[in-house]
């Protein structure tokens, strides 16, 4: 069990004058209970007095929960033909837990304003928070005083603990398998879909062999040739297009291992690179190195962005700079803290984890991005991404 998040979250609850949190989102349950829900239909009770106090989960997950930082784990039958009403079963469990912990009239926090959420392991069908779900929670304990704890949770999540970094290291080891497969497989004639399939297969088949890994989700996206100049978009469509000689190929790769996310990118040229591609790649690599040297506790997020962008501008690519230099990552693919972007004067803290991903995009020669994930330390940063960066 990690005591860092538990002690910090308990202190945050006391400062906010809250007695407990009722959590449903897998990303928050991972942080505070150490287990990643399979379906997103779990309920967790975290108290200011005891920390992770109880977990209510569907019976179909009874063999997948693994490590959990509470001994009070209760199951309700779901989904089976012979199941009683699951909403009533959850209601009964939560009321019993509240009675045991004296929370029936307490001050309770809930996830009221999460507009963007990470999926559970069942990524194809996300159980999203909504007004009806929040009203259901409140109806279970109608005498309690409910407060939206979204900002409190985001502040807590932004600083990763040593336990979190160990978990993130595993996710990045799995991601490195996919990056290596990409580097060796890019060649003229291969399709975007085939390339993405190779990356996915390498991460899955070898990643599940790593010690301690239970569940992996892999999301490779390939942009090539005329599509690569639009690789700055959050999501691209990987298709049956065959890669031509001399084209840039961009791999955007997200890997989630037991609820911890890696978000990394590499760029490769199929065949011989043109001079402009080499120059642009050298500029992006230099910009990333400058950003990595700039990162340390106390530096503002915008300082990192400006340092990287200045390298790209000085190299003659001002018109090809499209996006920010980085964003938070860890409990979700994209987390809001810290955004490495203009105007963000937030100071980086020890434990912040973020992407560092300068890029250049041009319709005439394609797109280039290099993306690593780093954890901020007192004297600099630790790079979690270990993979080749040759064009």
The average confidence (pLDDT) of the chain is 96
Domain ranges within the chain, ordered by starting residue: 3-157, 162-383
pLDDT score for 234: 87
How is residue 172 annotated by DSSP?
H
Helix/strand/coil for 38: coil
Per-residue model confidence (pLDDT) at position 3: 79
Q: How confident is the model at residue 128 (pLDDT cuts 50, 70, 90)?
A: confident
Give the model confidence (pLDDT) of 275-334 as tens digits: 999 999 999 999 999 999 999 999 999 999 999 999 999 999 999 999 999 999 999 999
Residues 277, 303: Cα–Cα separation, whole Å: 27
* Closest CA relative to residue 6, chosen from 151, 120, 161, 111: 161
- What is the model's pLDDT at position 1? 55
**C-alpha–C-alpha distance, residues 290 and 283, integer Å:** 10
| Mean pLDDT, range 157-183, rounded to an integer | 97
Q: How far apart are CA 135 and CA 112, in angstroms?
A: 10
Section 33-56 average pLDDT? 97
Q: Mean per-residue pLDDT for 176-203?
A: 98
Domains 3-157 and 162-383 share a fold: no
| CA gap 232, 382 in Å, rounded | 25
pLDDT at position 45 = 98
- The full 3-state SS of 217-282, as one line of letters, equals EEEEEEEEHHHHHHCCCCCCCCCCCECCCCCEEEEEEEEEECCEEEEEEEEEECCCCCHHHHHHHH
Q: Does domain 3-157 have CATH number 3.40.350.10?
A: yes
The C-alpha angle with vertex 335 and arms to 329 and 341, in degrees rounded to 5, equals 95
27 pLDDT above the threshold of 80? yes
CATH 1.20.120.610 fits 162-383, yes or no: no
When pLDDT is cut at 50, 70 and 90, the band that residue 259 belongs to is very high
The stretch 68-83 carries a mean pLDDT of: 96
Alpha-carbon gap, residue 212 to 339, rounded angstroms: 31
b/e burial code for range 81-119 (CB count within 10 A of at least 16 → b): eeeeebeebbbbbbeebbeebebeebbbbbbeebeebbb
CB 340 within 8 A of CB 291: yes
Q: How, if at all, do strands 381-383 and 372-376 pair?
A: antiparallel
- Global pTM reads 0.97
pLDDT tens figures, 362-378: 999 999 999 999 999 98
Q: Which of 21, 8, 33, 46 is nearest to 107 (CA)?
A: 21
Q: Count CA atoms closer than 13 A to 86's CA, side-chain side.
A: 17
CA distance 326 to 197: 27
């Amino acid at each position: 069990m990690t005591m860092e998040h538990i002690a910090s979250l308990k202190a945050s609850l006391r400062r906010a004058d809250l007695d407990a949190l009722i959590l449903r989102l897998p990303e928050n349950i991972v942080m505070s209970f150490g287990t990643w829900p399979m379906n997103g239909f779990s309920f967790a009770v975290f108290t200011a007095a005891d920390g992770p106090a109880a977990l209510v989960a569907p019976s179909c997950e009874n063999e997948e929960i693994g490590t959990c930082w509470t001994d009070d784990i209760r199951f309700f039958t779901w989904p089976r033909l012979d199941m009683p009403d699951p909403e009533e079963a959850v209601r009964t469990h939560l009321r019993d837990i509240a009675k045991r912990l004296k929370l029936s009239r307490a001050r309770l926090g809930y996830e009221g304003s999460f507009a963007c959420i990470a999926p559970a392991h069942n990524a194809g069908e996300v159980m999203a928070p909504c007004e009806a779900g929040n009203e259901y929670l409140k109806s279970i304990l109608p005498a309690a005083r409910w407060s939206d704890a979204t900002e409190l949770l985001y502040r807590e999540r932004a600083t990763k603990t040593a336990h979190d970094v160990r978990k993130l290291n595993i996710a990045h080891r799995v991601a490195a398998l996919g990056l290596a497969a990409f580097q060796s497989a890019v060649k003229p004639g291969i399709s975007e879909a085939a390339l993405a399939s190779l990356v996915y297969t390498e991460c899955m088949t070898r990643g599940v062999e790593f010690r301690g890994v239970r569940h992996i989700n892999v999301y490779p996206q390939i942009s090539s040739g005329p599509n690569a100049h639009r690789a700055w978009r959050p999501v691209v469509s990987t298709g049956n297009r065959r890669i031509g000689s001399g084209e840039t190929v961009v791999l955007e790769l997200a890997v989630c291992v037991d609820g911890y996310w890696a978000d990394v990118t590499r760029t490769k040229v199929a065949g011989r690179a043109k001079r402009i591609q080499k120059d642009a790649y050298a500029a992006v690599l230099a910009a990333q190195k400058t950003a990595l040297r700039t990162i340390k506790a106390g530096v503002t997020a915008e300082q990192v962005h400006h340092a990287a962008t200045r390298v790209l501008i000085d190299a003659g690519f001002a018109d090809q700079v499209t996006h920010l230099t980085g964003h938070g990552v860890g409990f979700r693919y994209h987390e809001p803290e810290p955004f490495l972007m203009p105007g963000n004067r937030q100071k980086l803290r020890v434990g912040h984890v973020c992407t560092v991903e300068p890029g250049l995009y041009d319709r005439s020669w394609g797109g280039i991005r290099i993306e690593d994930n780093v954890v901020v330390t007192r004297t600099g940063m630790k790079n979690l991404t270990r993979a080749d960066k040759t064009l």
